[in-house]
Amino acid sequence: MEYTVKILARMSGVSGRTLRYYDQIGLLKPARINSSGYRIYGQKEVDQLQQILFYRELEVSLEDIFEIMNQPSFDRSEALKSHYEKLKEKRSRLDKIMATVEKTIASIEGGKPMQDSEKFEGFKEKLIEDNEKKYGKEIREKYGDATIDASNAKLRGMSQEDYDHMTKLGEEVFELLEKAYATGDPTSPEAVELAEKHKEWLMYSWTSYSKEAHAGLAEMYVADERFAAYYDKVVDGGTKFIRDAILNYLGM
Amino acid sequence: MEYTVKILARMSGVSGRTLRYYDQIGLLKPARINSSGYRIYGQKEVDQLQQILFYRELEVSLEDIFEIMNQPSFDRSEALKSHYEKLKEKRSRLDKIMATVEKTIASIEGGKPMQDSEKFEGFKEKLIEDNEKKYGKEIREKYGDATIDASNAKLRGMSQEDYDHMTKLGEEVFELLEKAYATGDPTSPEAVELAEKHKEWLMYSWTSYSKEAHAGLAEMYVADERFAAYYDKVVDGGTKFIRDAILNYLGM
DNA sequence: ATAAACCTTTACGCAACGTAAAGGTCAAGG
DNA sequence: CCTTGACCTTTACGTTGCGTAAAGGTTTAT
């Protein structure tokens, strides 16, 4: 039950260099180093490597894998179940791309033209994935999976126009934030408009709306450095301002 | 039907930077540059980009994509059919990994242990893929798809022991080449053993064996720089020697 | 005419290793 | 016992496919 680099590498399908690299960055340390300086891996490390490979399969960065697996709340069994769902999503993305390939073949051989935007169906899913990779981790960590999963599900069903409109709304929120901030008053008409626009934007990704959830999100913006940085980019203190504007709008 | 960078990017799901990069490396050049230096893409480029994304989905390197698409014999329709098959393989690999995840969950919750090597089922497929990525392209180009596809199919069905044994045989071929070469005589007993061992090794990946195919492969070794480099690494002129030894063994 | 939203090129940065170099260790066979 | 070959080690530079400023020109809308 003890393995050297080469043996574990052969068993798992990764290279020796990969194992050494994982040791180097602290992602997977050998159980012990023997008297000659050789890395020796045991049971626990085998299971950890498997877990790492599952995450890697989902294109999670090694850094994120490290953070996830080192969280005190990390539950292997639960992680595996989540993996299963993600793999299913990945497979359905593949199915979509396969459908696009089929359609393209038919269009070439049948001579009937295809909408340009149709030609990229399935690839758009990648956008959603990437988005999740960028923001999903922290949101998941702090606010649970439910919100983001629902948000993704809705995104997926959206038409191009809807998507564009939503993007535009998001930008308008940004612009409004700047204007409203200039008034210095979170109860000003501009601030109210900001809150309204923000709600409108939210409706695109939220499956259900409640004042409490909206207010909770506003608080989250301030609490979460990532969101804070996002809104503070527009104007310093912008995050707090948008929170106050929303809370005022909601009468809280 | 004319698109600027941003528009095409949004439509296809790639970034603007990606399009500029593809232009830079010559993979996808815009149809024309307008008077202000802007990149303008047309119908043909849209289809090319789609094709590129299909290849990218299969993890083909951009360099290889370029070579493949610029071959005079490149047939879009055929390429798409091949894509479809590959995507199917990728999906079945995903299925295997999903099965491994399920098994792992059951093993954790049921408390029954799992073979260490079982834990990496599905990942091993990656090895085959990578191998193909490394050698497959040139072989395909020059000798058609049939051989390598069959070879992969057989590889997939192999047990760990078989695989190890094959690897070992491959190494023995190498060792023998050096010894046999030292005799300087492709009809020496050592050379005959080399040819025999080489046949034995071949049988692991070939579905059927014929003298002609074996001889053909020997010639291919010499003709193909990649293989030549591979065998000449052992001893200079090793490739020609192994060809002569095989031809002699086959009585040709 | 001014701002917003595009576009351009240049250039440095990054992840996740591959790959070579230079050398120590260990089991097996002569 | 000693050599050989297959392991092991560390160090370090190279690669792919972009992301991300920076610094500036163009177009469109108001």
Query: What digits encode the pLDDT tens for the residues B218-231?
Result: 665 655 444 555 66
Question: Which residue, chain included where needed, has tokens 């260099």?
Answer: A17
Q: In the prediction, which pLDDT does B50 show?
A: 94
Q: In the prediction, which pLDDT does A166 show?
A: 63
Domain shared by B179 and B112, yes or no:
no
Pairwise CA distance, residues B100 & A75, whole Å: 18
| CATH code of A17's domain | 1.10.1660.10
Chain B touched by A96 (CB under 8 Å):
no
Domain shared by A121 and A46, yes or no:
no
Q: In the prediction, which pLDDT does A38 show?
A: 96
Q: Directed axis angle between helix B160-183 and helix B238-249, to 10°?
A: 100
Q: In the prediction, which pLDDT does A145 show?
A: 42
Q: In the prediction, which pLDDT does B71 show?
A: 86
Q: Which of B11, B77, B97 sits opposite A105 (nearest CB)?
A: B77
| More reliable by pLDDT, B118 or A55 | A55
**Substitution target from B19, B115, B116, B168 for chain A, most A beta carbons within 10 A:** B116
**Tally of helices (H runs) and strands (E runs) in chain B:** 13, 2
| CATH code of B218's domain | 1.10.490.50
Domain shared by B97 and B24, yes or no:
no
Q: pLDDT tier at B142 (50, 70, 90 boundaries)? A: very low
Q: pLDDT tier at B143 (50, 70, 90 boundaries)? A: very low
**B222 phi-psi bin (left φ>0, alpha ψ -120 to 50, beta other):** alpha
Record the tokens describing residue A2, joined without a space. Answer: 């003890």
Domain shared by A170 and A151, yes or no:
no
Pairwise CA distance, residues B19 & B27, whole Å: 9
**Which helix (H) or strand (E) is B39 found in, with range?**
strand B39-40
Chain C positions with an atom below 7 A of a protein C-beta are: 5-10, 15-19, 24-26
Q: Among A114, A131, A156, identify where a domain stops.
A: A156
Record the tokens describing residue A80, joined without a space. Answer: 């595996």
Q: Directed axis angle between helix B238-249 and helix B211-223, to 10°?
A: 170
Pairwise CA distance, residues B238 & B245, whole Å: 10
Q: pLDDT tier at B14 (50, 70, 90 boundaries)? A: very high
Record the tokens describing residue A196, joined without a space. Answer: 């309204």
Statement: residue B205 has pLDDT above 70: no
**Which helix (H) or strand (E) is A213 found in, with range?**
helix A211-223
Average pLDDT of B76-83?
Answer: 88
Contact B9, B19 (CB under 8 A): yes
Pairwise CA distance, residues B74 & B140, whole Å: 12
Q: How far is B205 from chain A (nearest CA, A)?
A: 19
Task: Print the domain residue range for B210.
Answer: 160-249
| More reliable by pLDDT, A159 or B69 | B69
Record the tokens describing residue A7, joined without a space. Answer: 């043996």
Domain shared by A191 and A241, yes or no:
yes
**Overall number of domains in chain A:** 3
The one-letter amino acid code at B187 reads: T
Contact A215, A229 (CB under 8 A): no
Chain A touched by B114 (CB under 8 Å):
no
> What would the pLDDT profile of B146-187 be if each residue is shown by its tens digit?
444 444 444 445 555 555 566 666 667 777 777 777 777 777
Q: In the prediction, which pLDDT does A35 show?
A: 93
Q: Among B125, B156, B187, identify where a domain stops.
A: B156
Statement: residue B81 has pLDDT above 60: yes
Whole-number distance in Å between A42 CA and D12 C1' = 29
Look up residue A120 and give its DSSP letter. G
**Which helix (H) or strand (E) is A231 found in, with range?**
helix A225-232
Whole-number distance in Å between A26 CA and C17 C1' = 15
Chain B touched by A167 (CB under 8 Å):
no
Percent of chain B with pLDDT over 90: 27
3-state secondary structure of A13: coil
Average pLDDT of B83-106?
Answer: 89
Average pLDDT, chain B: 76
Q: In the prediction, which pLDDT does A53 show?
A: 95
Chain B touched by A102 (CB under 8 Å):
yes
> What would the pLDDT profile of B176-187 be if each residue is shown by its tens digit?
777 777 777 777
Cα→Cα distances B3→A105, B9, B43, Å: 24, 9, 9
User: Is the C-beta atom of A230 closer than 7 angstroms to strand D?
Assistant: no
Residues 6+ apart with CB under 8 A from B166: B158, B201, B204, B205
Q: Among A102, A125, A156, identify where a domain stops.
A: A156
Q: In the prediction, which pLDDT does A234 show?
A: 60
ipTM of the complex in this document: 0.63
User: Is the C-beta atom of B210 closer than 7 angstroms to strand D?
Assistant: no
Residues 6+ apart with CB under 8 A from B108: A76, A77, A80
Count of beta carbons in the 10 Å neighbourhood of residue A110: 10
Chain B touched by A91 (CB under 8 Å):
yes
Determine the longest span between alpha carbons in chain B, in angstroms.
73
Q: Which of residues 22-61 of A touch strand D (CB under 7 A)?
A: 37-39
pLDDT along chain A (252 residues), means of 10: 91 93 97 95 94 93 93 88 87 90 88 79 61 48 43 48 60 72 75 79 59 62 54 66 76 66
Helices (H), A111-188: 123-131, 137-143, 145-156, 160-183
Domain shared by A111 and A145, yes or no:
yes
**Substitution target from A18, A118, A120, A134 for chain B, most B beta carbons within 10 A:** A120
Contact A29, A23 (CB under 8 A): yes
Domain shared by A166 and A242, yes or no:
yes
User: Is the C-beta atom of B62 closer than 7 angstroms to strand D?
Assistant: yes
Q: How far is B87 from chain A (nearest CA, A)?
A: 7
Between B4-13, B98-107, B202-211, the lowest mean confidence (pLDDT) is in B202-211
> What would the pLDDT profile of B26-52 be if each residue is shown by its tens digit?
999 999 999 999 999 999 999 999 999
Chain A touched by B80 (CB under 8 Å):
yes
Domain shared by A173 and A146, yes or no:
no
Q: Which of B11, B46, B120 sits opposite A13 (nearest CB)?
A: B120
Q: pLDDT tier at B25 (50, 70, 90 boundaries)? A: very high
The C-alpha angle with vertex A185 and arms to A179 and A190, in degrees rounded to 5, equals 40
Domain shared by B55 and B83, yes or no:
no
Contact A74, A38 (CB under 8 A): no
Cα→Cα distances A200→A50, A166, A214, Å: 43, 9, 11
Question: Which residue, chain included where needed, has tokens 């950890």?
Answer: A48
Question: Which residue, chain included where needed, has tokens 């307008």?
Answer: B34
| More reliable by pLDDT, A47 or B234 | A47
Question: Which residue, chain included where needed, has tokens 């299913």?
Answer: A88
Instruction: Decide if A94 and B97 are in contact by the 8 Å CB cutoff.
Output: no
Contact A46, B119 (CB under 8 A): yes
